[in-house]
Amino acid sequence: MHAGFAAVDITPPPGCMLDGFAARLENATGVDAPLFARAVWLDDRGMCVGGTAALIVALDLVGLEPATADAWAARLADELGLPAGNVQLTSTHTHAGPMSYPIRGLGPADAALMARVGEAVMEACRRAKAAREPARLFAGEAPASIGMNRRQKKSSGPTQLALNPEGPCDKSVHVLRCQTARQSILLFMHASHPYCIGPADLLISADFCGHAVAALEAAGHQSLYVNGCAGNIMPVAAAQGPAVTKREGERLAASVLAALPGRELVAPRLWGGSAAVALPHDTMPPMAKLESFARDSIAKTNAAEMDPRMKKRLTEALDDWIVDLRAALVPGEDRPRPVPARVSLLRIGDLALAFLPGEIFFEIGRDLVAELTAPGTSARASSAWAVGYNHGFIGYVPTPESYPDGGYEVDDAHRYLGLWRIAPTAGRTLHDAAMALAKQAT
């Protein structure tokens, strides 16, 4: 296998609006941890019959619009000579980066800034390919505890956004090491929303994941973080400020180092593929009922004691949601058209990396990994990852069991990030698409 790494700084200047929190009412005043576009190039061309190549890109952004991801993947494929389906454009999902994805109440993506980020992605990937050299690959994992389940059930009413120590969460960091003659390249994954930097912090930041990468680089490893299925996972140290954010990143880096050296992948072959899926929306109430809900919510917001700027954001978000939802409805249909999405899989020897779109609930990724590694499965891998926030952002994908409990991810998020919530079958659709790709890889 050949491997190469490169990173290009994409930190915007202070003064920009930050994505992720409607409650952050002022623009950035400084930088906590710089933002990067990082890329790892892998290929086994010339080392076996039918070799291929793949790119794994990690962006310190909240997410990418689907059209942006499609365009960047196609351009990278054309210029660097690899299948577009083997280009994985992941976002760390930091809530302290620039406007890379539109959020109602905050505004659209910053087109000029995203054009510059696109060029930085191209440059990072060119450099990663140019830096490729023969590598030995190792896979490992170690205990990690940055994230915790954030769906806390109450005796009555919907689930609340709060730490739930009893809920499922990622308890490991997963590591792939590419050791060349000149450098150690680490890819690592641990599922958690990155918002140790909270809405009160007016700082551009790659959050705990950026600090983890910096600590690993100081230890001599070129590193790239990919997030897992963290739709219902929050950091234990949420909104605790820069000093705690750095501490949490260093804790994660220590876990990554504890996973080394890992088991060697012997003579690994590379395989990659992607599949397009369509995710239906859930059954929707009559439009008149949703319009009445929006009017009532706006009235309550205007009557509440809060910063006038926050009132303006919330009321504009609800108004825009109703306008967008009405425009998306096709005559005769009771819900918007299905959401197009992409599922990808890379097979690196006996390691399977599944790449899923949007904010996937942790249990969906956990169950996919269990099937990918199940004994007796024709597509069995010795180990597997379920990566989230890949390619175009599509909002939340909850488990079917979570719908009756309600809560932000089920009841509220689509008013800011989409049109209507995705149907409870969406997680299974993504699971089945990934398994179909895994079977093609055997």
Average pLDDT in the 91-111 region?
97
pLDDT digit string, tens, across residues 372-384: 999 987 778 999 9
In a domain, 219, yes or no: yes
Residue 377's φ and ψ, nearest 5 degrees, are: -75, 135
Residue that finishes a domain, picked among 315, 334, 353: 334
- pLDDT tier at 158, thresholds 50, 70, 90: confident
Q: Are 387 and 350 in contact (CB under 8 A)?
A: no
In a domain, 72, yes or no: yes
Number of domains in the chain: 2
Residue that finishes a domain, picked among 334, 354, 370: 334
Greatest extent of the chain over all pairs of C-alpha atoms, in Å:
69
pLDDT digit string, tens, across residues 173-199: 999 999 999 999 999 999 999 999 999
β-pairing verdict for 203-205 and 30-33: parallel
Q: Which helix (H) or strand (E) holds 53?
A: strand 53-59
pLDDT at 156: 81
pLDDT at 149: 98
Q: How far is CA 131 from the centre of its chain?
A: 26
pLDDT at 97: 98
CA-wise closest residue to 406 among 75, 348, 414, 8 = 414
Q: Quick one: 47 and 122 in the same domain?
A: yes
pLDDT at 67: 97
- pLDDT tier at 172, thresholds 50, 70, 90: very high
In a domain, 84, yes or no: yes
pLDDT digit string, tens, across residues 346-381: 999 999 999 999 999 999 999 999 999 999 877 789
pLDDT digit string, tens, across residues 48-78: 677 899 999 999 999 999 999 999 999 999 9
- pLDDT tier at 342, thresholds 50, 70, 90: very high
Q: Quick one: 160 and 249 in the same domain?
A: yes
Q: Quick one: 202 and 56 in the same domain?
A: yes
**What is the chain's alpha carbon radius of gyration, rounded to the nearest angstrom?**
21
Strand partners, 160: 152
In a domain, 281, yes or no: no
- pLDDT of residue 335 exceeding 90: yes
Exposed, middle or buried, 260 (CB in 10 Å: 0-12/13-18/19+)? Answer: middle
In a domain, 314, yes or no: yes
Residue 172's φ and ψ, nearest 5 degrees, are: -140, 155
In a domain, 416, yes or no: no
- pLDDT tier at 108, thresholds 50, 70, 90: very high
Residue that finishes a domain, picked among 312, 334, 356: 334
Q: Quick one: 72 and 183 in the same domain?
A: yes
User: Within 13 Å and on the Cβ side, how many CA atoms surround 31?
Assistant: 14
User: Within 13 Å and on the Cβ side, how many CA atoms surround 434?
Assistant: 34
In a domain, 312, yes or no: yes
Structural domain range at position 147: 2-275+340-407+421-440
Say how far apart CA 9 and CA 272 lie, in whole Å.
Answer: 28
Average pLDDT in the 269-273 region?
96
Average pLDDT in the chain:
96
In the chain, the percentage of residues whose pLDDT exceeds 90 is: 93
Q: Quick one: 227 and 316 in the same domain?
A: no
Q: Looking at this protein, which amino acid is placed at residue 210?
A: G
Average pLDDT in the 128-146 region?
97
Average pLDDT in the 306-318 region?
94
pLDDT at 175: 98
Q: Quick one: 356 and 320 in the same domain?
A: no
Q: Quick one: 270 and 293 in the same domain?
A: no
pLDDT at 262: 95
In a domain, 413, yes or no: no
pLDDT digit string, tens, across residues 280-304: 999 999 999 999 999 999 999 999 9
- pLDDT of residue 442 exceeding 80: no
- pLDDT tier at 423, thresholds 50, 70, 90: very high
pLDDT at 331: 85
Strand partners, 383: 351
Residue 224's φ and ψ, nearest 5 degrees, are: -145, 125
Q: Quick one: 324 and 360 in the same domain?
A: no
Using alpha carbons, list the distances in angstroms from residue 155 to 151, 159, 166, 405: 13, 9, 15, 11
Q: Are 151 and 232 in contact (CB under 8 A)?
A: yes
Q: Looking at this protein, which amino acid is placed at residue 98?
A: P
pLDDT at 50: 76
Say how far apart CA 227 and CA 193 lie, in whole Å.
Answer: 8
Helices (H), 231-307: 242-258, 287-303
Q: Quick one: 63 and 152 in the same domain?
A: yes
pLDDT at 378: 73
Say how far apart CA 40 and CA 301 lie, in whole Å.
Answer: 46
Say how far apart CA 416 and CA 149 lie, in whole Å.
Answer: 22
Written as one string, the DSSP assignment of 290-357 is: HHHHHHHHHHHHHHS-S-HHHHHHHHHHHHHHHHHHHHHPPTT-SSPPPEEEEEEEEEETTEEEEE--
Q: How far is CA 362 from the centre of its chain?
A: 12
Q: Quick one: 206 and 173 in the same domain?
A: yes
Q: Quick one: 291 and 310 in the same domain?
A: yes
In the chain, the percentage of residues whose pLDDT exceeds 70 is: 99
Q: Quick one: 330 and 190 in the same domain?
A: no
